[in-house]
Amino acid sequence: MPVFLNTRDSDFETQFTTLLGAKREDSPDVDAVVAGIIADVRARGDAAVLELTEKFDRLTLTPETLAFSAEEIDAAVAQVPEAEAEALSLAARRIRAYHERQMPHDESWTDATGARLGWRWGPVDAAGLYVPGGLASYPSSVLMNAIPAQVAGVKRLAICAPTPDGVANPLVLLAARLAGVDTIYRIGGAQAVAAMAYGTETIAPVDKITGPGNAFVAAAKRRVFGKVGIDMIAGPSEILVIADGDNDPDWIAVDLLSQAEHDESAQSILITDDAEFGAAVARAVDARLETLERRAIAGPSWRDYGAVITVADLDEAAALSDRIAPEHLELCVADPVALSEKITHAGAIFLGQWTPEAIGDYIGGPNHVLPTARSARFSSGLSVMDFLKRTTLAQMTPEALRAIGPAAETLAKSESLEAHGLSVRARLDRLNR
């Protein structure tokens, strides 16, 4: 049973705080193991990667077979049924079109002193995308990670995708090809992250690593942060649906289950201003759970972390939503645009009852890599910005230096940084000669 809360209940605040604070993630302390794996890959390169792949994925590789060959990719891609290939291709086109609009512009201007100022954007040279193996091997995630990198202009794109027992997902290989990925290594875990960050004899190091992964991958990304850039440390998925009574309870039920089926630690919450409707949705969830293929995952998620919250009005709903700062937010209300304007913290908003969150997972265009665990308070979904960096530019003229140099010298002296001041003073003295 999910929890049923009502903002009118006297203990609502306590219960809501408990809900917010629920620790949904197993965080096994894998950091020591991961530190050892990273040190091993740095010290022994390919040899370490091959041994660890043998150990964890039961797969014997050589430096020559670390990456899929073009023929292997061709053969796998040829197995993909046409309908799936077309759907993936449509998704790739839409995701690309959305992300192309994110490209920021360079700026350059001259200020009143004659100083020329501005900045310039450029892509990272190389990016490495982690794609989990097994159940969570999602071709859609390949598109969502690789296309922004490609749009940003990243010259070299590599994927690490473990293939436990040698089993590869043909759709993942097709997605990689659609997204312009050059090289796909069949390795995973902390060893893959270490290899991408530090390089080995066979694997060229990259500058930025993105993509989801298990606790080992997350710990490895945290450890290599600084040596390379990383995207974020993602937690279990979440959805918050705000729905008024004028919705089909079954639609909202499957929307809630579409996150619950990801992971037993996923969280699905409904906020409604109609208690009757909330109860109807809960019944519809139960009905769907009787037959849902992944009921063994979605059931525990809904039971342990699901919630139905009844509010007095939609303003209350917006305020609670901001405290949750959900990864995904569906607004199934009469005027979803008006309600969205009251929302400050959310990774992605899906407006109106014709926009199930699953559209955003696959084909809407926006990225599905989104901030979890309340991090929408301070971070954003993946975008082309993650694969770009900015260089600031400044050019003084003698006149500009004369105008603002003395203040710089004053501040340098006040910070006891004499050479800073001298570097300005030497030039001002020349001008005053």
Q: Which is nearer to its own copies, 181 or 209 (CB)?
A: 209
Read off the tokens for 53.
Answer: 């792949």
Q: Specify the 3-state DSSP secondary structure of 272.
A: strand
Read off the tokens for 252.
Answer: 């909202």
- Where is 4: in which H helix or E strand? strand 3-6
> Cα–Cα distance between 367 and 2 in angstroms, integer?
29
Shortest Å, Cβ 278 to its own copies? 18
Read off the tokens for 344.
Answer: 């400050």
- Kindly tell me the number of DSSP H helices and DSSP E strands found in the chain: 17, 14
Q: Which is nearer to its own copies, 65 or 77 (CB)?
A: 77
> Cα–Cα distance between 186 and 56 in angstroms, integer?
12
The burial class, CB within 10 Å (0-12 / 13-18 / 19+), for 55 is exposed
- Count of C-beta atoms within a 10 Å radius of residue 257: 26
Residue 100 among the catalytic residues: no
Q: Which of 168, 165, 326, 354 is nearest to 248 (CA)?
A: 354
- Where is 336: in which H helix or E strand? helix 336-340
Residue 72 among the catalytic residues: no
> Cα–Cα distance between 40 and 52 in angstroms, integer?
10
- What is the layout of strands, in order, in the sheet containing 183-185? 183-185, 156-160, 126-130, 208-210, 229-230
Residue with tokens 């010259």: 155
> Cα–Cα distance between 75 and 297 in angstroms, integer?
33
Binding-site positions for Zn(2+): 259, 262, 361, 420
Give the Å distances, CA to CA, from 130 to 68, 86, 137, 158, 209: 15, 24, 10, 9, 7
Q: Which of 130, 149, 184, 175 is nearest to 362 (CA)?
A: 175
- The residue annotated as part of the active site, out of 327, 330, 357, 368, is 327
Q: Any idea what the Cα angle at residue 376 is, between residues 266 and 19, rounded to 5°?
A: 45
Quickly list DSSP for 193-220.
Answer: HHHHHH--SSSPP-SEEE----HHHHHH
Binding-site positions for NAD(+): 130, 191, 214
Give the Å distances, CA to CA, from 93 to 143, 178, 363, 419: 10, 9, 9, 54
Catalytic residues: 327-328
